[in-house]
């Protein structure tokens, strides 16, 4: 049963919503860092930030299932706070001179990893907001229209939101820099497959975990 506050939870927020919100904030911050590595998934190459981003999809869908669409949308919007704060801190740290004793190789590696172009930053922020809100909207709409199969709703919403995410991010970040056709196809195919295969069972497990957290009485 959907509820904002359940028995045994802290006043004003259920334990599942608190736990998922903390986890969500961490995934928002780490996704951009992981995205600096390209990983091989069979014949396809995909940026590793997809794994953290898929967990954002899992958590936002789980919150929508347990606490309603409005609460899930608020979670996505509030996710901009740690996202923008981590970006601001990154810029601040990059601007502060490094200690004289710091190994130049480590400094160079740090700056390479943490420095991104404004287009990549903007593309990532816009893609995050649009695709995650779209995921919550599709997931919740399918439920209202009588969709009882949680795994099916999760798969459909995850796949469609990842297609939009890829289109937005790749276009904003790289259009005009080099031909993006092959990159779009490869990224989209990898994300669609992962969304269809990994997201549904993870959401089913997360919903069970959330219900368990909310139903377990405090010691």
If one counts every other C-beta atom within 10 angstroms of the C-beta of residue 145, the result is: 8
Q: Are 122 and 172 in contact (CB under 8 A)?
A: yes
Predicted confidence band of residue 217 (pLDDT cuts 50, 70, 90): low
* Structure confidence at residue 117 (pLDDT): 63
Mean pLDDT, rounded, for 183-211: 89
Comparing C-alpha atoms, which of 158, 172, 160 is closest to residue 203?
Answer: 158
- C-alpha torsion 165→171→177→181, nearest 10: 90
Asked if the model's pLDDT at residue 129 lies above 50, the reply is yes
Q: Are 34 and 172 in contact (CB under 8 A)?
A: no
Asked if the model's pLDDT at residue 61 lies above 90, the reply is yes
Predicted confidence band of residue 87 (pLDDT cuts 50, 70, 90): confident
Q: Which of 9-18, 138-147, 165-174 has the lowest mean pLDDT?
A: 9-18
For the chain, report the end-to-end CA distance as a whole number of angstroms. Answer: 23
* Structure confidence at residue 90 (pLDDT): 87
- With tokens 């939101």, the residue in question is 161
Mean pLDDT, rounded, for 79-93: 90
Asked if the model's pLDDT at residue 5 lies above 50, the reply is no
Beta-bridged to residue 45, according to DSSP, are: 40
Predicted confidence band of residue 42 (pLDDT cuts 50, 70, 90): confident
Cα angle, residue 46 at apex, residues 187 and 113 outer, rounded to 5°: 125
**How high is the mean pLDDT of the chain?**
85
For residues 73 and 95, give the distance between their C-alpha atoms in angstroms, rounded to a whole number: 34
Predicted confidence band of residue 187 (pLDDT cuts 50, 70, 90): confident
* Structure confidence at residue 6 (pLDDT): 45
Please give the residue that has the higher pLDDT: either 188 or 119.
Answer: 188
């Amino acid at each position: 049963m959907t509820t904002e506050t359940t028995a045994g939870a802290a006043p004003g927020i259920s334990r599942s919503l608190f736990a998922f919100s903390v986890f969500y904030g961490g995934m928002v911050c780490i996704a951009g860092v992981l995205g600096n590595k390209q990983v091989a998934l069979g014949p396809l190459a995909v940026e590793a930030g997809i794994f953290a981003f898929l967990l954002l999809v899992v958590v936002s869908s789980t919150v929508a299932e347990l606490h309603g669409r409005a609460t899930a949308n608020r979670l996505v919007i509030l996710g901009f706070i740690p996202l923008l704060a981590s970006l601001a801190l990154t810029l601040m740290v990059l601007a502060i001179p490094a200690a004289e004793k710091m190994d130049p190789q480590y400094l160079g590696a740090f700056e390479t990893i943490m420095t991104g172009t404004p287009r990549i930053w903007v593309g990532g922020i816009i893609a995050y907001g649009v695709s995650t809100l779209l995921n919550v909207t599709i997931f919740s709409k399918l439920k209202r229209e009588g969709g009882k199969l949680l795994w099916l709703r999760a798969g459909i919403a995850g796949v469609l939101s990842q297609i939009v995410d890829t289109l937005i991010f790749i276009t904003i970040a790289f259009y005009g820099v080099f031909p993006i056709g092959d990159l779009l196809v490869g990224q989209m195919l990898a994300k669609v497959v992962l969304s269809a295969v990994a997201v549904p069972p993870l959401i089913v497990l997360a919903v069970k975990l959330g219900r368990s957290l909310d139903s377990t009485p405090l010691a």
